Amino acid sequence: MNVLVLAEHDGQHLNPITLHAITAAQFWQSPVHVLVAGNALDSLVDSLSDIIGVAKVIKAEASHLATPLAEDIANLIVSISTDYQVILAAHSSFSRNALPRVAALLDVAMISDALEIKADQTYVRSIYAGNILTHIQSQDTQQILTVHSSHYIAASTHGGKAQISSATVPAAFHKTRWISTKHAQSDRPALNSAKVVVSGGRSLGSAENFEQILSPLASKLNAAIGATRAAVDAGYAPNDFQVGQTGIVVAPELYIAVGISGAVQHTYGMKDSRIVVAINQDPDAPIFQVADYGLVADLFTAIPAITAAIQ
C-alpha cells in the first residue's frame, strides 16, 4: 500500500509546508505519492518530482481546479483512494477544508493536526488549545490526517526522481461556485513560514500605533507581523494576522510578543517558536511563562529603542 500526500500550492510555487508533510509521510515506510491538483501544473510537477522521498507525482489538471473547491478536491482524492492506506496533508486552511470531507466519504475518522505519528495507528494531538495532549489510536484500516508541519523537518527539494502520472479528474461539483480570492498584499514574509514574527496585542491601542510601532521593527528583522485576536477584533490588524488556537500557528526562530497578555488561545499559536521574547508592562503577565526573555517595560518606549539599536 502507498501513502498519499496532498500538495498545497498557488499554481506556481509549492507551499513549503508540503515538504514537511512529505517527511511525515515517510513514517509508514511505504511509497509516498504526492497529489497535485490545479491547472497548467508542468513546472510544479517538475519541482515536485525532484523532492527526495517522493516515489510518484500524480498530476490532476482541470480548469476548474485552478481555484480548487473542497468538494472537488475531496471527490478527486476519493476517486484514487483505493490505492492508499494513508492520506495526509500539512494542517492548513486548505487541508482542514477538504480532508474531513474525504474522511466522511470514505467512512473513516480523521486525525486533525497530528503532532506525532506512532506505531499501531496511534497519534498524538493536542486538544483544549494545546493544554492537553491526547494519544489516540485509529481503528480504521485507512488513515486520514493532517500533520503539524513545524514538528517535521522539510524534505530536500533536489535529488529525487519520482515518476509522474496523471489522474482522471472527476466532473466539477456544480453546487458551489468560486467567486474570488483576496490575498493580503504584503512585502513581508508569510506568517506561517517567516523566520521572525513580531506580534502585537490590544495594548497598541489603534491601527496607526500598530503600524507605526511594529512595522519598523518588523522591517529591520525581515519579520512577518502577527496579532492577538483582541487586536484583530479591535481593527488594529487584519484577520489573517491572528496567531492562536483559532488563527494561525507559527513556529519561527524568533517570536517577539509586544503587549500581549499570553492567553492560552494565543500561546497555542506560538509556543513552538525557538526563542520567545515578551515585552509587557505587567510583571505578572502570563506571556512571561512561555518567554525565553522577558522585559517588563512600556512597549511605546521599548520597541522604538530595540528598533533603533539593531542594524
Residue numbers 105-164 binding another protein by CB under 8 A: 105, 107-113, 122, 126-140
Task: Round to whole Å and give the CA distance between 139 and 143.
Answer: 9
Interaction partner, residue 276 (another protein, ligand FAD, none; CB < 5-8 Å by kind): another protein
Task: Round to whole Å and give the CA distance between 72 and 170.
Answer: 8
φ and ψ of 181, to 5 deg? -130, 135
Please say which residue, 253 or 282, places its beta carbon nearer to ligand FAD: 282
In the block, residue with C-alpha cell 513545524: 150
Neighbours of 105 (CB within 10 A): 13
Nearest distance in Å: CB 161, another protein: 31
List 247, 277, 288, 291, residue binding ligand FAD (CB under 6 A) = 247
> Which residues, listed in sequence order, are joined to residue 256 by a DSSP beta bridge?
198, 277
Interaction partner, residue 234 (ligand FAD, another protein, none; CB < 5-8 Å by kind): none
Q: What part of residues 174-203 is at the interface with ligand FAD (CB under 6 A)?
A: 201-203
Interaction partner, residue 299 (another protein, ligand FAD, none; CB < 5-8 Å by kind): ligand FAD
Residue 229 in contact with ligand FAD, rule: CB under 6 A = yes
Task: Round to whole Å and give the CA distance between 49 and 14.
Answer: 12
φ and ψ of 218, to 5 deg? -60, -40
Residue 245 in contact with another protein, rule: CB under 8 A = yes
C-alpha cell at position 138: 485509529
Nearest distance in Å: CB 299, ligand FAD: 4
Nearest distance in Å: CB 84, another protein: 17
**Which residue type does 223 have?**
A
Interaction partner, residue 259 (ligand FAD, another protein, none; CB < 5-8 Å by kind): ligand FAD
Task: Round to whole Å and give the CA distance between 141 and 68.
Answer: 28
Nearest distance in Å: CB 150, ligand FAD: 16
Tell me the residue nearest to ligand FAD as measured from the CB.
244
3-state secondary structure of 57: strand
Query: With CB under 6 A, what is the number of residues at the site for ligand FAD?
Result: 27
Nearest distance in Å: CB 189, another protein: 11
φ and ψ of 13, to 5 deg? -115, 140
3-state secondary structure of 96: helix
Please say which residue, 10 or 208, places its beta carbon nearer to another protein: 10
Residue 91 in contact with ligand FAD, rule: CB under 6 A = no
Contact by Cβ (8 Å): 111, 145? yes
Nearest distance in Å: CB 12, another protein: 14
Task: Round to whole Å and give the CA distance between 177 and 67.
Answer: 10
Q: What's the Cα-to-Cα distance from 24 to each of 4, 29, 50, 76, 91, rounded to whole Å?
A: 11, 10, 17, 22, 12
Task: Round to whole Å and give the CA distance between 164 and 126.
Answer: 36
From residue 257 to residue 286, the character string flagging contacts with ligand FAD as x (rule: CB under 6 A) and all else as - is: --xxx-x-xx--x----------xxx--x-
Residue 222 in contact with another protein, rule: CB under 8 A = no
Binding site for ligand FAD (CB under 6 A): 201-203, 228-231, 242-247, 259-261, 263, 265-266, 269, 280-282, 285, 298-300
